Amino acid sequence: MNKTVNQKAWFLVLPVLILVGFSAVIPLMTVVNYSVQDTFGNNVFFWAGLDWFRDMLESERMWNALGRQLVFSGIILAIEVPLGIFVALNMPKKGFWASFCLVLMSLPLLIPWNVVGTIWQIFGRVDIGLLGYTLAKLGVNYNYTQNVIDAWATVIVMDVWHWTSLVALLAYAGLQSIPDAYYQAAKIDQASRWKVFRFIELPKMAGVLMIAILLRFMDSFMIYTEPFVVTGGGPGNATTFLSIDLVKMALGQFDLGPAAAFSLMYFLVILLISWVFYTVMTNLDKRDGV
Partner 1 sequence: MTDATSAPGAASIPGDVSAAEPRARSRRRFRPNGSVIVMALYLLFLMLPIYWLLNMSLKTNAEILSGFSMWPRNLTLANYEKILTDPSWYMGYVNSIIYVTMNTAISIAVALPAAYAFSRYSFMGDKHLFFWLLTNRMAPPAVFALPFFQLYSSVGLFDTHIAVALAHTLFNVPLAVWILEGFMRGVPREIDETAYIDGYSFPKFFVKIFMPLIASGIGVAAFFCFMFSWVELLLSRTLTSVDAKPIAATMTRTVSASGLDWGVLAAAGVLTILPGALVIWFVRNYIAKGFALGRV
In Å, what is the CA distance from 217 to each residue of 76, 77, 122, 210?
9, 7, 27, 10
- Examine residue 56 and tell whether it contacts partner 1 (CB under 8 A): no
Residue 20: CB minimum distance to partner 1, A = 5
Q: By CB under 8 A, what part of segment 5-34 binds partner 1?
A: 5-10, 12-13, 15-17, 19-20, 22-24, 26-28, 30-31
Name, in order, each residue with C-beta under 8 angstroms of 47's C-beta and a sequence gap of 6 or more. 36, 37
Q: Which of 48, 62, 65, 208 binds partner 1 (CB under 8 A)?
A: 208
Q: Which stretch binds partner 1 (CB under 8 A): 45-53, 73-81, 168-176, 195-203?
A: 168-176
d(CA 105, CA 87): 10
- Examine residue 192 and tell whether it contacts partner 1 (CB under 8 A): no
d(CA 240, CA 51): 24
For residues 92 and 203, which CB has a smaller minimum distance to partner 1 in the complex? 92
Q: Which of 62, 87, 151, 261 binds partner 1 (CB under 8 A)?
A: 87
d(CA 123, CA 108): 15
Name, in order, each residue with C-beta under 8 angstroms of 248's C-beta and a sequence gap of 6 or more. 233, 240
For residues 48 and 250, which CB has a smaller minimum distance to partner 1 in the complex? 250
For residues 50 and 273, which CB has a smaller minimum distance to partner 1 in the complex? 273
Q: Which of 77, 156, 161, 235 binds partner 1 (CB under 8 A)?
A: 161
Q: Which stretch binds partner 1 (CB under 8 A): 39-47, 49-57, 110-118, 141-149?
A: 110-118
Count interface residues toward partner 1 (CB under 8 A): 106
| Phi-psi map region of 40: left, alpha, beta (phi>0 left; psi -120 to 50 alpha) | alpha
Residue 192: CB minimum distance to partner 1, A = 14
Q: By CB under 8 A, what part of segment 126-145 binds partner 1?
A: 127-131, 133
Instruction: Identify the DSSP state of 268.
Output: H
- Examine residue 52 and tell whether it contacts partner 1 (CB under 8 A): no
CB-CB contact of 145 with 231 (8 Å): yes
d(CA 17, CA 10): 9
Residue 238: CB minimum distance to partner 1, A = 19
- Examine residue 59 and tell whether it contacts partner 1 (CB under 8 A): no
Q: Write the interaction track for partner 1 spanning residues 216-235; mark x where CB under 8 A is met and - where it is not.
A: --x--xx-xx---x------
What burial class does residue 133 get, using C-beta atoms within 10 Å of its C-beta: 0-12 exposed, 13-18 middle, 19+ buried?
A: middle
Strand partners, 47: 37
Structural Rg of the chain based on CA atoms: 23
Q: By CB under 8 A, what part of segment 232-271 binds partner 1?
A: 242-244, 246-247, 250-251, 256, 259, 263, 266-267, 270-271
What is the crossing angle of helices 148-176 and 202-221, to 10°? 140
For residues 81 and 166, which CB has a smaller minimum distance to partner 1 in the complex? 166
